[in-house]
Structure 1
Amino acid sequence: MIVVLTALEVERAAVVRHLVGVRAHRHATGTIFERGVLAGHPDREVVVAMTGTGNGAAAIMTERAITEFQPSAVLFVGVAGGLRDWLRLGDVVVATRVYGYHAMRSDEDGDHARPRAYEPAHDLEQTARVLARGTSWRAGLPAGEEPPQVHFDPIASGEVVLNTRTSATARHLSHHFNDAVAVETESAGVAQCGHLHRSTPTLTIRGISDFADGGKERADRGGSQELAARNAALFMRSMVAELAAERRRPTADEPPGGPSSVTNSISGTANFAIQAGVINGGIWLGEPPGLDLAALDDLTAAVAEARRTDRMTVGAFTRAVLGLVDLRHQATSPPTDPARLRALRRAIEEDLGGDAELLGRLAKVFGGAP
């Protein structure tokens, strides 16, 4: 099974157009996923969801989708702003690296970048490169239309819809992330969540819908988002068709290397001494520190509301949500590291910025312990 995430309705519609037998799948939290199979490939099951905009929202939805469906891969398919003059509207960019560019430290002498970077799963990138060398993925394009090109380059992912080449954010990107050719607002959250969730493979596929140069509204009115989303979804279609049969992912009670077992049998007066081997992974003794997952859900919703009502800055919100995703991963994927939990709690407390309500909810996650 493949999970395909989108941020906008125009992106979702472009993806679902390639599925048949689509039906709703309602998550316990109320999220509605769409579940179907790739047209012409009944053995390729696909789940689609809209994350909404922003890395924080994308991380939450990615965690939810991975936990619910245990996919073999997660693809983020959508549109992006181009940062290079050689790009054309409708071109497709497959991210060879995703930069979370909003992480920084701000001092009196200025802002200092502390970026996070995520590379795609090697097999997904290799599959994409092979597809891009051919033309079969373009099947379905209107006759006579100049075909889009596929580019393999880094993408910058932050919390700003960039529509200028001269703002402080634009200069920050140009100075610190000069190899990024496109900019958007979700892929860093998706990539980090995949990394934290047993290294679920992720890949970002974006169609260029504008050039982040002040002309976004004009381009959008001309249908550029529909064009870019259509081309990205066409490439996604071929990717899903080419991916190998579902790879089994380890369950919570077995090591990432896959299941293994050893059986010893003795009978009569046989003597049994010892069987030795190599143990991969950690050793889990006893129950992990108790975390209230219902309280964690409540805190996550409260943090989203705090951002909506401007009680939290964009940066603090993004860091807090990614911290909450990491906290859930620690709580649900033993062995749990108590030191890591304490460090996460301290970091999240800093991001909550002294908000008494949110800090109280955080304390409930840890059973009310100070």
Structure 2
Amino acid sequence: MTEDPTTTKARPVGIICAIPAELASLRAALTDVATEEQAKLRFDIGRLAGIPVVLAEAGIGKVNTSVVATVLALRFDARAIVFSGVAGGLDPTLHVGDVVVGVRTLQHDFGVITAGAFSAYHAGHVPFFNPTDRFGFDVPAALKNRVATALEGLELPALSAAAGGTGRRPRIMLGTILSGDQFINCEATRERLHRTFGGHAVEMEGGALAQVCERFDLPWLNVRSLSDLAGAESHFDFKAYLHEVAPAAAAVLVRLLPAL
């Protein structure tokens, strides 16, 4: 018998954000709230749209996300873990405000340097010691199909004129999100990451989430709205658009909770 996620005994969905702006709309929507501290971090226990969740702000980067994902798995017995936040766009067909639901992720900064040249490799492995044919982490097909079904008909509001909006509604897509402990503020690097890995967006946490969740045999998703396009002006765009685009990722996440 499938567990009803709206019952009081259901295991919660863990939700991770990196920074306060990503967390704000989710925390505001949380009901029946209790708070607990673990690993010097605040965990908000409550319900979103009637579904039990545990919400935490991890901080930026892969190590911070790994810590929080581990706590969610062990202390709170999460049945799935989702990241909600912003990212830089890599795919030139995407715009600020668009949302990428990551169903594939890889760590673009993990690999081997030989003769000054870097080659990416599957996280946790090196080719001459513990080689693998894998590269990256993929959401199982069944969950991917449920996500696609859940997103049908969902429309997000257009960005305001202050955030560069032109009346166009943000696009929502399933795609590949790259992770690395680097803020990409470089046109050449953006083009290389898109060309080399087929990435639609890039951020600093999701690859670590997938790696931890695989260890615990937990479903995961990575939901990102684009705050910038990972180019030379991305540090300005990130600050300008962060507070307007972050709620879009949160809205998509809430829509997807029943699919987990």
Is 1:14 aligned with 2:34? no
* Distance change (3 Å), C-alpha of 1:140 and 1:128: farther
User: What is the number of equivalent residue pairs in this alignment?
Assistant: 232
Q: What root-mean-square deviation, in Å, do the aligned CA atoms of Structure 1 and Structure 2 show?
A: 2.3
Is 1:148 aligned with 2:170? yes
Q: For residue 139 of structure 1, report the CA deviation from its aligned partner.
A: 8.4
* Distance change (3 Å), C-alpha of 1:127 and 1:213: same
Corresponding residue for 1:74? 81
Corresponding residue for 1:58? 65
SS in 1 for 2:88: strand
Write out per-residue CA displacement over residues 186-232 of structure 1, whole angstroms, 9 at most, x where no aligned residue: 001111000011x111010000000011222332343x112221100
Does structure 1 conserve the Cα–Cα contact (< 8 Å) formed by 2:13 and 2:81?
yes
Corresponding residue for 1:195? 214
Counterparts of 2:64 and 2:146, CA distance in 1: 28
Q: Which runs of 5+ in 2 are unaligned?
A: 1-11, 124-135, 161-165
SS in 2 for 1:166: helix
Corresponding residue for 2:114? 107
TM-score by length of 2: 0.81
* Distance change (3 Å), C-alpha of 1:66 and 1:145: farther
More strand by share: 2
SS in 1 for 2:185: coil
Q: For residue 172 of structure 1, report the CA deviation from its aligned partner.
A: 4.9
Greater relative contact order structure (CA < 8 Å, 6+ sep): 2
Identity %: 24
Q: For residue 96 of structure 1, report the CA deviation from its aligned partner.
A: 2.1
SS in 1 for 2:81: strand
Write out per-residue CA displacement over residues 66-124 of structure 1, whole angstroms, 9 at most, x where no aligned residue: 10111111011100000122212111101121011111211226222213401124343
Does structure 1 conserve the Cα–Cα contact (< 8 Å) formed by 2:158 and 2:170?
no
Counterparts of 1:90 and 1:146, CA distance in 2: 10
Counterparts of 2:184 and 2:32, CA distance in 1: 37
- Residue identity matched to 1:112: S
TM-score by length of 1: 0.58
SS in 1 for 2:75: helix
Counterparts of 1:84 and 1:243, CA distance in 2: 26
Counterparts of 1:85 and 1:174, CA distance in 2: 9
Counterparts of 2:25 and 2:17, CA distance in 1: 10
Corresponding residue for 1:131? 150
Is 1:86 aligned with 2:93? yes
More helix by share: 1
